[in-house]
Structure formats: C-alpha cells, structure tokens
Amino acid sequence: MIYTRKIGDAEVINVIEYIGPTHIPNVLYPELDMADLEPHLHWLTPHQYVPHMQRFVVAMQFWIVKKDDKVVIIDTGVGNMKERPRVKRMHRLNTLTLEWLDAAGASPEKVTHVVTTHLHPDHVGWNTVLDGDKWVPTFPNAKYLVPRRDFELRKQGYEAGNVNMMAGSWVDSVLPILEAGQLGFIDNEEYVADFLRVEQLPGHTPGAIGFSLKDGDEEGIFCGDIMHNPIQIAMPTLNTSVDELKDLAPVTRVAFLEDAARRNALIMPCHFGFPHCGYVRGDRETGFTFEPEAR
C-alpha cells in the first residue's frame, strides 16, 4: 500500500511494509486499564483497534520525502530475511518492499539520504540486504544518518558483551553501514538533507528525534515512535512497554502534542493504522484528540 500527499512542493509518501491487529493491549501498554479504553473504542475501531480480537493495529512503514534533487527515507522497517526469532511477526520476512519503494520513486539507487528517528530493530531493517551470505547497504548512494546518542549507547552495550544488541539488528543492519563508510551521526544539527529540521524527542529512546518539514503555512512532523497508536493522543501519559525512559517519555509526548496542535502540523508516526497520519487537536488542559488525515 502506497499513499501520497504534498507538503508545499515536497512529495511525501508512506509505503506500508506490513500492517495488522498484532498487539495485545496490556503487553503494548502495561499500565493500560481496559476500562479506560472503552470510551475510545468508537473512534479507534476498526483502523486502530479490533475489539473482538482485543488487539491494537500496528503498521510498519517507510516515510519518503522527495524534494528538489533529494530522495529521503525516514526509518527502514524490519527488513527481509532478518533473524528475529523472539518476535514471530518480524522473523525472516519475505516481502516485496523494494518493489513498492521503486513504485514510489525511491528505488535503492535513487535514495540520497536514509535518516533514522531512533535505533530499534523495526526502524533499521531495510538498511541492508543479503548479498550472498553478507549484509550490504540497500541504498548504495545514500548517506545514512542516525542519532549519535542512541548509537553510542548501543555500541557500548555491544562492546560490553551484548552480542544480540537490538535483537540482532546492530550486527545485520547497523554495523554493515558503518563498515561501508556510509554512516553519519545527528548531534545538534538544525537540518538534515537541507530541509528536514531536527526535533529532539527523547523518551522512547535516549536519543530519539523527529523531523519537521515546513513550507509556508504547511508543516508535517515525522515523529517516529513518540506514540505507537492514537490512543496515546487521548491518553498521553500512557507509556509503551518499550519506552526506555519511563519518566521522560510522557513529558516529551505531552509537550509534542501541544506543540503539534499549535502548529497545525500533520503528524506522521511510524506505526499508526490507516490513514497512518493526522492532526492533533486540543491542549493539555482540555485534552487532546486525533483527527485522521482525510483520504
């Protein structure tokens, strides 16, 4: 599935690697009381939650921005043939994602930048593909950019003996890019690829970032995993089981939601169900609501 919209003169495309009702509520959100979910079922169903299965719908997707002579991919999903035995839905996938990227005008040789919101295994997988028995960069002409804070922490863990760092994705999806000389780091840069403004969003991981694309009165924010599902817009203090900084994550989330509402920015997370993006309305005093993008 491929969806396209314009933000100013930039073309913004999301390509779905896979999507489905995959996440048990109290596994994804350990602090969620199911009684508190009930008032929200009418707007979460069916695209964000499937009540009879008691599963949240979670998508894996790429965001692509084409502007001027740049083709930028933001986060690269799970990837094909990656060994992820602990997570069945991610284990040894065999999808046509590269063909779908080609259809979206982002075939491997055309991509100029691959930028990563944070270092988790479901955001770096298509960094590499198998060439024989070796993992090599998928995008041979691209500069790959990752948050330095996350990189340094993962590197320290791996060198301290965690050979399965990032569920194995450190070895098969990050190190090959470093060894190929294509990896760069985002520290305090104001912009990447000339037009994506870096926004610091720590909490989900220590180095998590987002990217703002603004053109005149139009703005979009690629916000990674600051939220996994729109329920966190209505319940912004709700953390996921994989938020690494449990105290900071909700503080960052509330500030982000208020800012996104004030800016009338299209928010483009990585895991929302259809239509995969939308607008935040309200404020921290009156509460926040989600307005899906009109398709």
Identify whether 274 is part of a domain: no
Q: What percent of the chain has pLDDT over 70?
A: 100
Identify whether 290 is part of a domain: no
Residue range 234-276, pLDDT digits in tens: 999 999 999 999 999 999 999 999 999 999 999 999 999 999 9
Identify whether 280 is part of a domain: no
Identify whether 128 is part of a domain: yes
Identify whether 125 is part of a domain: yes
Identify whether 248 is part of a domain: no
Identify whether 233 is part of a domain: no
Q: What range defines the domain where residue 130 resides?
A: 2-211
Residue range 135-187, pLDDT digits in tens: 999 999 999 999 999 999 999 999 999 999 999 999 999 999 999 999 999 99
Look up tokens 């500030």; give the residue. Answer: 255
pTM over 0.95: yes
pLDDT at 295: 78
Under the phi-then-psi rule, with left for phi > 0, alpha for psi from -120 to 50, and beta for the rest, what region is 113?
Answer: beta
Q: Any idea what the CATH number is for the domain that residue 162 is in?
A: 3.60.15.10
Identify whether 88 is part of a domain: yes
* Domains in the chain, number: 1
